[in-house]
Amino acid sequence: MQSKPASKLLADWRAEPGEKTLGGLLDTVGLRSFALLFVVLLGLPALPIPTGGITSVFEILAMLLALQLIVGRRTVWLPKRWCATALDGERSTKLIDGLIDYTTKIERHSAPRLTALFGHWWSDVAFGITVLVGTIGSFLAPPFSGLDTLPALGVVILSIGVIMEDIAYVIGGIALIVIGITLELTVGGAIYSGVKSLL
């Protein structure tokens, strides 16, 4: 049976009656909660718009979740206070709606491929390590440079690939992470050399 796309998981959760909380979202998606949270948390820094550093909070949270995957957790652990966070305000609703549209566009060509590679402890650990590297790359990008976009987008596409069990998207996400971090190092090195030559 084909896995539901991230956009469909979010849309189904939004359409359910009752109060919308972060904990409720995690309960709805179950074992794929890590991947869906990475889509939500890295979705904003993946957008090519200035965010004024507010995305750093999301990136730190994504790093903590990636560490949980690396140490072998199968389900997300968050403090009860965080799970009770309401996601049904006007601002949150607009964010979720925008994220649904965004992920729908990305998912158009996704389909299950090499599904036997997913759902193992080693593939979860590899997923966590890759997300951690990509998120650190996004987090360390110079403020207002836009260089955080590629690593963050790589994590989003990688996570969609995990949700859809699509190895093509996983490879594409990893490639974007590598390209983004390489670009950061190249630009950072050029800036460092330029500043050093002026001293």
Q: Which residues contact 24 (CB under 8 A, 6 or more apart)?
A: 13, 18
Q: To the nearest whole percent, how much of the chain has pLDDT over 90? A: 28
The whole-angstrom separation of Cα 137 and Cα 143 is: 12
| Predicted local confidence at residue 52, as pLDDT | 54
Q: What integer best gives the mean pLDDT of the chain?
A: 83
**Given this model, what pLDDT does residue 154 score?**
95
Question: Considering the entire predicted model, what is its pTM?
Answer: 0.83
On the question of pLDDT at 1 being above 50, the answer is no
Per-residue pLDDT tens over the stretch 117-167: 998 999 999 999 999 999 999 888 876 667 788 999 999 999 999 988 899
Question: Residues 185, 141: contact at Cβ < 8 Å?
Answer: no
pLDDT tens sequence across 39-80: 888 887 776 655 555 677 788 889 999 999 999 988 888 888
Q: How far is CA 182 from CA 76, 142, 176, in A?
A: 30, 14, 10
